[in-house]
Amino acid sequence: NLPNKEGIVERGRDFFLPVDLFRHLAKTGEVRLVEWSNGTDAWLTFGEFSLDGAEVNGLLERHGFFWQDHPDVGYGIKTLVDGNWQERNVGCSPSREWIFPLLPTDNIFDLEVHYDLTVELRAKLVICQQGIVLFPVVVGSHISASDTLPNARLFRVLVKANDGLAPLARKMAEVDKLLGISWAGLGLEGIRRVQDLFSDFSTVRGYLPESLAEMKIFCPNPKSERRSEDMYVVASAQAEVIKDWRDQLRTFLELN
């Protein structure tokens, strides 16, 4: 925790961990958050939808998507392909396909072929220096495209086809590939990662040996070993953090 001599510094108000920032975004956007156990990764989910039906398939076709047959496996799978221009990644083949499995049936008299054409709209979250970046992701029932551009395109089409989605999903559908939300946009203007704050503190001091930070004489520790422990300090608490670092350094030097 941050130095808390007077009991006024609180997590979620004066400083945030990555998971706190994701929760804050989800609450602000009124969207469900799914957290990974590692404490550093999470995504927003906007709901599940079906690609079955003439209306949605007509919309997909108009936006350059098509269904691809697989004669080698018969009717075992069904594949949706983004037929638009793709970005070139050196050494990697484009990942622009969603593969859907055949639905099992116990009805031997059902001669129709049915597939699980369910997809889920998500936003992958990445923290950067200026705020949080949201990458649109469409996850299918079997194998999904991994390239950013096809995901953004399909995300955009499905948002247009479904009313009642969260405003944040519609905002994501208005951009080409990703959406950045600034700290100011989240009501956290001026928030800084504790490592960056310590870098400024070191510069002002002239020079601090790297070994001092690694000795863990400072609280909060500017050298967290895991990203899940990265602290982000709000503007109003930064002066107090720097003051405490200054006092801790003075005490250490006096004793050594």
Closest listed residue to residue 56, CA positions, set 156, 157, 125: 157
Helix then strand then coil, % of the chain, to nearest 5: 35, 25, 40
Sequential pLDDT tens for the chain (256 residues)? 555 544 446 888 889 999 999 999 999 999 999 999 888 899 999 999 999 989 999 999 999 999 997 766 666 789 999 999 988 877 778 899 999 998 877 666 555 678 999 999 999 999 999 999 999 999 999 999 999 999 999 999 999 899 889 999 999 999 988 999 999 999 999 999 999 998 888 876 665 666 676 777 888 888 877 888 889 999 999 998 999 888 988 898 888 7
pTM for this entry = 0.87
